[in-house]
Structure 1
Amino acid sequence: MTAPLIMAVLSAQTPAVRPLPGDRPAANPHATRSVVYGRNGMIATSQPLASVAGLKIMQDGGNAIDAAVTAAAVLAVVEPSMTGIGGDLFAIVYDAKTKTLRALNASGRSPYAASPDVFASRNLTRIPNTGVLSVTVPGVVEGWSALLSKYGTIPISKAVAPATGYAKDGFAVSEIIGGQWKNSERKLAADPVTAATFLPAGHAPRPGEVFTNPHLAATLQTIAAGGRDAFYKGPIARAIVADMKQRDGLLDERDFAQHTADWIEPISTRYRGYDVYELPPNTQGATVLEMLNILEGFDLQSMGYQSPAYLHALVEAKRIAFADRAAYVADPASVPPAVLKTLISKEYAALRRKDIDPMRAAGSYKPGAIPGVTSSAGEEADQNLTGRDRGDTIYLTVADGKGNFVSLIQSLFSDFGSGIVAGDTGILLHNRGSLFNLTPGHPDQIAPHKRPLHTLIPAFIMKDGRPWVSFGVMGGDHQAQGHTQVVVNLVDFGMNIQEAGEAARVNHGNNGLQVESGVPEGARAGLVERGHTVTVSVGAFGGFQGIMVDPRTGVLMGGSDPRKDGLAIGW
């Protein structure tokens, strides 16, 4: 018999700061909702429909991996601005049987026909943000297949069934997604097929209106019947390639047929006794670890939460790490192992930390010098590379009662990706290829069958060799900044899982430092005194989901960010 859903309303830990006055009778001043508790399973996603679908899989006997793929498939339908089967996927899996962490890189590669000369022949000095030339091979379906094949217990047909139902029968559009849809109307209207798919009444569906995508439902049914080969070697690949050729794109059937996901080892650093795991390049995971290593040299707890001193150190550490990201992070084939080892080392962080003036923001930061490696980045290397900070991604995490965990992220990159729906597949293709560089000698320079730099990063924290927190923060360039702030909130400031993800964040971008309204005026003034350009902003701070394990009881604790439409739920 299916167990009933039980959601608790108590907070998990005593916060490290004094509760603020307000109407909420709970001792977690940085949260507007309670931690969710469960013993048998927990899932946190950015959409209630996805959370419930994943939970049901676990209650019916499936494991965390089954639930994660099911929820990811639902999100690929009900959050079309953020994700879809035309995008990419990364994951970290903790396997309770072997007590090991493994990482999955299912990101797609550039077409074999792609080269700097091709773009030069089209009089392009940079890769377009939208359109066919921004499209790389989508990796999501291969990612689902790889997860289920290695760790799952259900077939892909069962995993995509709830998503297929929502695509065929419709779903009610949620508030935040409805707003993103509205903001993307001009982009969607630029292509007739895309407009017919996502603006069926001539405008974006409003929150509460029901949206269907029957062509996508048919595509999902094809995947259910034929598995990943139907997507990469069968009718779906042929349909996408035919559409690309008609639009003068570069993708062909060989690009799809030779796509593979890779199981790899995650990278890590020990931060104040906690082992923080991220993915290696081509992701920006090393950027998070470098930021944490730099910050470990400061007494953040003594500085105080949201103090100007702490926030200044955080921002300067970000700028240094982003300078190194711009110079050294790319396809792993372009990043020598010695470079990665250096970037995440304590010794390198100590050298870079010396560049931080505790009372003054630097004009700019150059990449650090790594022996034997020449950087092509210049004075403005500490600037954001993508210009995307607003959470154009989904992240989810799942834990089951047997001790398995999944930390998963998938994305179209920009809102509604490339803006192209491929023929009658219903698939919106991503624009991840726009992150390639055309600068000669740059590690991220475009080349045939190459992965671009990725902002996507799932995260995981271990304590004393056991799982402690599975989490992620969606949002382009903000992801590395968000991950770092969540870890500091948990470790240095003693917040619970909901507080750590919901607490006011800051985001450094190309136009200065954006802060949320929850950052006190005194802290903002202190940052301005240190030379930062500070603005109060809304919506540039990603979206968090997380699961924590109580080491004393084994109880699972879930948190979900109110910056999204999401839900943490367990039983």
Structure 2
Amino acid sequence: MERRTFIKGTASTAAAAGLLSQGAVADEHDVTEEYPGRAIPRGPEDIPTARSRRGVVSSLHPEATQAGLDVLEDGGNAVDAAAVMQAVLAVVAPNSTGLAGGGFMTVYSAETGRTHLLNYRDRAPTAASGELHAESGIGRVHGVPGVPRGMDFSLKRWGTRDFEEVFDSAIDLAENGVEVDLEFARRLNNTWENLGQTAREAFSPDGQGEEPLQEGDTMVQPGQANTMTLLRDEGVEAFYQGEIAEAIAETVQDHGGYMTVDDIARYRVVEDRANWVEFGGVDFAFFPSVGGYEIPLILRVLEELDVDDLESGTSEFYHRYLEAMRMANADGNTLGDHHFVDIPNRGFFSDGYLEERASLVNPDAHNPATHDAGDPWDYQPGSPYRSTGHPSTGELEHEPFDPEDLDQTTHFVVADEAGNVVAWTSTLSVAFVSGNMVPDYGMMLSYSIGGFSLSPGPTELQPLKRRQTQMCPTIGLRRGEPVVATGSPGPTVAAVSQVLTHLYAFDMDLDEALAEPRVEAGWGGSFGWEETLDEAVRDDLEAKGHSASGSPGDTGMANTLIVEPNGTYEAAADPRRDAYVGAIDDGRGPRGPPEDRPRGPPRDVPPEREDDVPPGQSDDAPGRDG
């Protein structure tokens, strides 16, 4: 069977070969008006899944999923596959990620028996300041790229292949073209007026920049092919100290920015320390991003409120969830880059602070006090040692802006036969809004610096600082072994927290957990909702004081994998934003779960331990440059 036909086939056809796609869902159901081409699942039957002991992959594009499977089939490990997938996604989904962006990677290494967190988020230039930023042009929004350094570092630490070996598939797609899918066509057409001339020429059928590519067109990217060929032939330093760095700095400065080649040359990734939190018998390694504080607070508040005694899908559950999310969002707005901001971890994760926050939830009505941030410093000794560490509590005057909420982010998961598991999230922020592409190199520049504040506080712009984000690729362990990996583009917090709640509070199977209708706490007492949310539930939530937004939308793309007790992986693709899942054939045929397959993940509680780090995990100090 010709590979392209195999990938684009129906769900039943693809299942026999081990690769499933979201396409059948969109064919069978109406799509949302605000997000044309996106399908909200009506039930577990709409969630593509794949199972294998040899390896699984889930991503937003068939070429990326296929590339990851090819690496695993060829003997590479999950980290190798992830690096190849990142390169491919930069070509096939240039609105979602790219070499000039940044992100986070969480990896469980079977060799070390530890969970590692790699922060390759783009950083502010060394000259960054509020005064300079206010005087600069649109180029001021671009951060120093971290993706190539993140790929290189992860391969050196946990992979088996060299950096130069991971670009062949991406180069082939850039040179020979890839079919434009509906998701990319939608983003391109919606932001066409924002794009600069270089980007317009790259994303137009005739290369003249007059009209955007449409679904079904072939997108050829000689600039991207040029960049990746240089990286393949010369290595990562061609990006950070060679002609590519010079071209990036020149482009930024031509658009009124202040990034220099020295900023690019000095870029380093950071290995971070996880926020370890237990929920439902699983120890979760949350990234120390804003999402890595908000998600565990939501889960812990829900557990404190005994939501597992409620029924999923009811207004009673969603009411408690929305109140917990509002508190988490309020707390998250007081946080910033933890390398610059003094965050009270001990107080934030203390039982006393949890009880204080949970006590604000009125089971019968919305409580406006949930809009206000708490003060975790009340639950640990000392006070902030930086003036930007923790602003006064109280409701904000305006809704915070998170560029990753505008879906120019990607998330994927990979696992291999040896037991390595990767959750990878990368982003350009709203690159297609700023619209700048590096001429001759085909890279869209990220918008990451545009989300900083120019006023004193935790999100204040400072040299080398990384902007706060909800991104949070997450791995959960039981007895030191991985059992789940997940994450999502924005709204990350809503997607990840609800998937984990449905898996580990309501004991759902993976396809059930991803199919459940999602809600999201909005500004004030409002909430977003998916069209599958029962109308009676929505009415009851409004009766409790929540205000439903005007029209339904989608809530993230939580591509997820779990590890069954017998070592079999099951991966799922979240169809809300066109996703594809695949598995290496282990001789057991397509999924069709066996009769004795357990319902939901097992919930054995791990043995008690003296510290807060799961067995086999590092208790080293966080964050060193690599």
Same fold (TM over 0.5): yes
**How far did residue 498 of structure 1 move?**
2.5
Q: 2-side partners of 1:234 and 1:37: how far apart?
A: 43
Take 2:49 and 2:251, find their aligned partners in 1: how far apart are those partners?
A: 46
Instruction: Give the Cα separation in 2 of the matches to 1:242 and 1:376.
Output: 41
Match status 1:555 vs 2:568: yes
- 1:346-357 superposed matches below 5 A: 346-357=351-362
Unaligned runs of 5+ in 2: 1-5, 8-12, 17-28, 30-41, 385-389, 585-626
SS of match in other structure, 1:89: strand
Q: Using a 3 Å threshold, how does the CA distance of structure 1 residues 459 and 232 change in structure 2: closer, same or farther?
A: same
Structure 1: which amino acid aligns with 2:577?
K
Measure the CA separation in 1 of the matches of 2:396 and 2:465: 25
Query: How do 1:413-492 and structure 2 match up within 5 A?
Result: 413-414=429-430, 416=432, 418-440=434-456, 442-475=457-490, 478-492=491-505
Q: Deviation per CA, 1:165-198, whole angstroms, max 9, x where unpaired?
A: 111110001122222222222222xx11121122
- Contact residue 65 and residue 147 of structure 1 kept, 8 A: yes
* Aligned 8 A contact 2:48 2:573 in 1: no
Alignment of 1:233-252 (within 5 A): 233-252=241-260
Aligned-pair CA distance for 1:121: 4.5
Q: Indicate the SS of the match to 1:249.
A: coil
Asked if the contact 2:100–2:444 (Cα under 8 Å) also holds between the matched residues in 1, the reply is: yes
For the aligned residue pairs, the C-alpha RMSD in angstroms reads 2.3
Encode CA deviations 1:297-328: one digit per residue, 9 max, x unaligned: 1122322112112111111111111111111x
What SS does the aligned partner of 1:332 have?
A: coil
The structure-2 alpha-carbon separation of the partners of 1:482 and 1:381, relative to structure 1 and needing over 3 Å to count, comes to farther
Question: Aligned in 2, Cα 1:510/1:415: closer, same or farther, shift over 3 Å?
Answer: farther
Deviation string 1:229-260 (CA, Å, 9 cap, x unpaired) is 11111110011111222222110011111110
- Does 2:261 correspond to 1:256? no
Report the counterpart of residue 334 of structure 1 in structure 2.
340
Structure 1, gaps ≥5 residues long:
10-21, 23-27, 123-127
**1:25-47, CA deviations, whole angstroms, 9 ceiling, x for partnerless residues?**
xxx94341443111111111110
Name the CA distance, whole Å, in 2 between partners of 1:71 and 1:108. 19
Match of 1:178 in 2: 185
Work out which of the residue numbers 79, 89, 97 in structure 1 matches 2:111: 97
Q: State the partner residue of 2:224.
A: 216
Report the equivalent of 1:295: 302
How much does 1:151 deviate? 1.0
> Partners of 1:358 and 1:295 in 2: how far apart?
12
The TM-score with structure 2 as length reference comes to 0.82
Question: Over residues 207-227 of structure 1, what are the superposed CA-to-partner deviations in whole Å (9 max), with x where a residue is unaligned?
Answer: 211001101110111111222
Q: 1:192 to 1:385 in 2, by over 3 A?
A: closer
Match of 1:83 among 94, 97, 100: 97
Aligned to 2:201: 196
The answer to whether the 8 Å contact 1:391/1:541 transfers is no
Q: Which of these residues, 419, 430, 441, is aligned with residue 403 of structure 1?
A: 419
SS at structure 2 position matched to 1:320: helix
Match of 1:18 in 2: none
SS for the counterpart of 2:469 is: coil
Q: Specify the alignment match of 1:318 in structure 2.
A: 325
Deviation digits for residues 434-463 of structure 1, max 9, x if unmatched? 2211122x0110111211112221011112
SS of the residue 1:507 aligns to: strand
Give 2:276's aligned residue. 268
C-alpha distance in structure 1 between counterparts of 2:553 and 2:99, whole Å = 25
Alpha-carbon displacement from aligned partner over 1:246-285 (angstroms, at most 9, x marks no partner):
222110011111110112222121112111221114x421
Q: How far, CA to CA, are the matches of 2:126 and 2:492 in structure 1?
A: 30
Aligned to 1:37: 51
Q: 1:187 aligns with which of 194, 200, 203?
A: 194
Q: Equivalent residue of 1:473, what SS?
A: coil
CA contact (8 A) 1:324 1:381 kept: no
Identity %: 28
Secondary structure of the residue aligned to 2:215 is coil
Residue in structure 1 matched with residue 591 of structure 2 by the alignment: none
Look up the SS of the partner of 1:255 in the other structure. helix
Aligned equivalents of 1:170, 1:458: Cα separation in 2: 30
Equivalent pair of 1:194/1:420 in contact (CA under 8 Å): yes
Q: Distance in 2 between matches of 1:292 and 1:75?
A: 31
**Per-residue deviation, 1:387:** 6.3
Higher mean C-alpha displacement, 217-226 vs 372-381: 372-381
Quick one: structure 1 residues 230 and 376, their matched pair in 2 at CA, closer, same or farther if it must change by over 3 Å?
farther
The equivalent of 1:162 in structure 2 is 169
Deviation at 1:486, TM superposition (A): 0.5
TM-superposition CA deviations, 1:323-346 (whole Å, max 9, x none)? 11111x211223325x12322333
Q: TM-score, normalised by structure 1?
A: 0.89
Deviations, residues 68-110 of structure 1 (Å, cap 9, x unaligned): 1111111111011111111112111101122110000001210
- Counterpart residue type for residue 212 of structure 1: V
Give the superposition deviation at 1:417. 5.6
Q: Does the residue aligned with 2:189 lie in a helix, a strand or coil?
A: helix
Contact 2:573 2:579 in 1 (8 A): yes
